[in-house]
Structure 1
C-alpha cells in the first residue's frame, strides 16, 4: 500500500477519512465519537439507537419503525407513562457495545422510538422544561419543612410533562414516602425519586476542574470507578486532601488515568527499603523519578546528604553486588563522581525586586534653584564640631510661627 498518496480529508459520509458526521455537535454531554459513521450500511446493522436527555441521562431504544435517524435528530421515545423527548447521539455498530457497557440486565430496559419529534411535542417539551427550576426551589423548601436530611440537586420533567424525576443526595437512608405525597399534591405529576452520589451531582451540574478544563464526569466519563489513595501513593503524589479532592469533594477520577503506567514503571526500580552499600558508606533512598527511571540516594536517612542520582538499572546492579558480598567503589557505573545535569534557570541571576521602582535620593536646592548635594554641608558641620565642640545653629530656613499673622 502506498502511504505517500494517502490523504485524510473531512468526509461527508461517503468518502473515507476523518468523518464530520461522527463528531457531531459538541453541545451534548457524554458525546461519543462514531468512528464508523462513514462506513456504508453502518446504520442498518442494528435497530438500537442511543438517545440522550437532560445532562448525563442516556437511554437505549429500538428503532422498530425503521426511521432514518442520524446523530442530532430529536425523537419521541417510549416512557412510563407517556413519551419523552431526547436527542439521538449514536447509531450503528457501536450502540450494542455501549449497551453492553451500560450493564442492562434485561431486554425490557430497551424501549421503542415512536417518531421524530413534531412541533406539538416540542411545545409540550419546552413548557415542561420551563417549570424545572421553580419546582426544584419549592421542593427543597418542602423537604426542609418535613425535616428530611437530604438535598435535592436537580429536577427533570418528562417530555410530555406527566412525570418529574427528583435527583437527591443523602448520606443516610431517607423515608420520603410523605415527601412524595406532598410533591404529587403540589405539582400534580407523577413523582420519581432517584438517589445520586456526589460524583453524579458534579456531572449533572458541570464546572471547571483544577486543570482548567471542563469536568470529565460532565463530558465523557459514564461509569465511575472507585478511586483510592493507593493511586496517589503509586505516583508519589503528596497525600494532601485539598490537592487530591475534586469539585465533588471526592478523590479525583484522574488519579486512575496514569496509575497503570506508574505501576509498570515502578517494577523496574529497586524497593524503597533497600540500602545500597559502597566502600565509602551506605546509601538510603531519598527520592525517585518513576517515569524517568532515576533514583536519588543519600548517606543520611532523614535528610539529603551527599546525594547520588543513578538509573534504576544501576541501582538493581549494585543491589545484586551487595547480595554477593561485593561493594563497589561508588554508586556511579564508571566509579567516578558525575555531576547531575540541572535544569537551566533563566532568572537565577535576577533580583526579585528588579521591577520595583528605585527610591530616588532627596536633593536639596540652592538659592538659585539648582539641586545641591548635601555632602559639602556635612563636611562643614564636621569641621565646626572639631573647632567649637558643638553643632552649628542653622539660622536660615527656619521661621517662627506667628499666631496673629494670617497664613
Structure 2
C-alpha cells in the first residue's frame, strides 16, 4: 500500500499523502495493475490501442477512448467526458493491456465508449483540487442536514466531479429512504447538482478503511477487490463458535477471511464421517459430539451418558459404520478408545529454576551481610581514597 508519498515523517509519525489512494505516484492504490507489456514494442504496422484506463477518487475506474492527435502515458492527468461537463482523473493503464482489462470486465469496445477530451491544464487541476478540499466540510454539513430531517441513513463519502458542477454522495441505509427534501436542501446550500448513490456496508468499510481484529489493515481496503458472499455455514465447517461479536467485521457483516481457508476444510471433511452419523454398539447408540480434522479424531458419547466422550479416529469410525451397515454391532466404544489414549508430555521443563513464583520471597542470607561488613573493616583509608 505504501508509496514514496506515504512514507514516515522525521518525527516517526506516519506522514501520508492524504489523497486516499490518488497520489501522483499511484503506488498506494490496491487496484494498480502492473503493465508487463510496457517494455515491449509493437510489431510493424500495428497501431497502439486507442483506449486508456482512468482512475478517479475511491478507486473508481473507467475506460475512455483517446483521440488520435493526443499522446498519453501512465500518470497523466486528463479531462474526460462525463454525463454533463467533464471529469478529471489519472491514467493508470495504457496500451494493449487495456484491451485485456476491458475483456475481463466485459466492457464493450464500441462507439458508446466515452472519450478523453485533453490533457488537464493547470486551471483544471487547480479547480479539481479545490473541489477535493471542500469534500470533508460538505460531507459534515450534509450529515447534519440528514439528522435534522430525521433520515435513517449514513452519508459515508462525497465525490466531486472534476469541473465542480456535480457531487455524488455515497450513503448506507437499512431501509428505503425518501431523500427528496434532502437533495433540495443540499442543492440550495451548495449550489451544485446532487446525486445520491447507495452502497453496501462492505463497500463503506472499503472506503473508510480501518484495523481488523487481526491487527492488520482491512483486507477490503488494502488488496481485496471482489466481495464474495459469506454465510454462517463457513463458520460451522471450520467449527468456530457462532458468536456474532467475533465473526463480524467492522462492517457488521461476516468477516471475508472466513472464506480464505474454507476450501481446505471442505477437502479435509470429505474423508470424515458425517456429523449426523450414529454408532450402534451393544452398550447403546453413540452420537458424534466433536471433530478435529487436523488430528483426524472424533469424539462420540452414548445417548444415555452424553457427558462422557470417547475419542476415536476417523478410520475406526468408518470401520464401525461399515459393520453397522452389515447389521453387526461392536461391543463398545471403550475398546476402540483405549488405543487412542495419549501419554501426557511435559511441554516445559524447568532448567534454570525460574518456575517458582515465590523465589523472590526467600529471606536473604545473613552470613553474606556479615562477610561484607568484615571486608569493609579491613580496607585501609589509603585504599578508600585511591
Q: CA deviation at 1:332?
A: 11
* Correspondence 1:307 to 2:311: yes
* Correspondence 1:110 to 2:113: yes
Q: Distance in 1 between matches of 2:237 and 2:256?
A: 15
Q: Distance in 2 between matches of 1:133 and 1:205?
A: 13
* Correspondence 1:179 to 2:176: no
Q: Distance in 2 between matches of 1:90 and 1:114?
A: 17
Q: Distance in 2 between matches of 1:363 and 1:348?
A: 24
Question: In 2, are the aligned partners of 1:65 and 1:114 still within 8 Å (CA)?
Answer: no
Q: CA deviation at 1:41?
A: 3.8
Q: Superposed, which structure 2 residues align to 1:308-347 within 5 Å?
A: 308=312, 310-311=313-314, 313-326=315-328, 337-340=339-342, 345-346=347-348
How many equivalent residue pairs?
341
Q: Distance in 2 between matches of 1:61 and 1:265?
A: 47
* Correspondence 1:233 to 2:233: no
Instruction: State the Cα deviation string for residues 188-235 of structure 1 (Å, max 9, x = none).
Output: 122111111211111111112222222222123334232221221222
Q: Distance in 2 between matches of 1:95 and 1:262?
A: 37
Residue 77 to residue 305, structure 1, CA distance change in 2 (3 Å): same
Q: Distance in 2 between matches of 1:155 and 1:173?
A: 20
| Larger of the two Rg values belongs to structure | 1
Q: Distance in 1 between matches of 2:53 and 2:335?
A: 59
Give 3-state SS (helix, strand or coil) of 1:337's partner.
helix
Q: Distance in 2 between matches of 1:343 and 1:83?
A: 72
Q: Distance in 1 between matches of 2:342 and 2:38?
A: 52
* Correspondence 1:159 to 2:162: yes
Match of 1:397 in 2: none
Greater percentage in helix: 2
Q: CA deviation at 1:267?
A: 2.1
Structure 2-normalised TM-score?
Answer: 0.73
Give 3-state SS (helix, strand or coil) of 2:324's partner.
helix
Q: CA deviation at 1:132?
A: 0.7
How much is the aligned-residue C-alpha RMSD, in angstroms?
Answer: 4.0
Give 3-state SS (helix, strand or coil) of 1:49's partner.
strand
Segments of structure 1 that go 5 or more residues without pairing to the other structure are: 1-23, 365-407
Q: Distance in 1 between matches of 2:47 and 2:238?
A: 46
Q: Distance in 1 between matches of 2:346 and 2:76?
A: 55
Deviates more, 1:224-233 or 1:126-135: 224-233
Q: Superposed, which structure 2 residues align to 1:113-124 within 5 Å?
A: 113-124=116-127
Residue 168 to residue 335, structure 1, CA distance change in 2 (3 Å): closer
Structure 1-normalised TM-score?
Answer: 0.70
Segments of structure 2 that go 5 or more residues without pairing to the other structure are: 1-24, 367-386
**Of 236, 241, 245, which aligns to 1:242?**
245
Residue 220 to residue 333, structure 1, CA distance change in 2 (3 Å): farther
Question: In 1, are the aligned partners of 2:316 and 2:336 still within 8 Å (CA)?
Answer: no
Q: CA deviation at 1:131?
A: 0.7
* Correspondence 1:27 to 2:31: no
Match of 2:3 in 1: none
Q: Distance in 2 between matches of 1:103 and 1:342?
A: 60
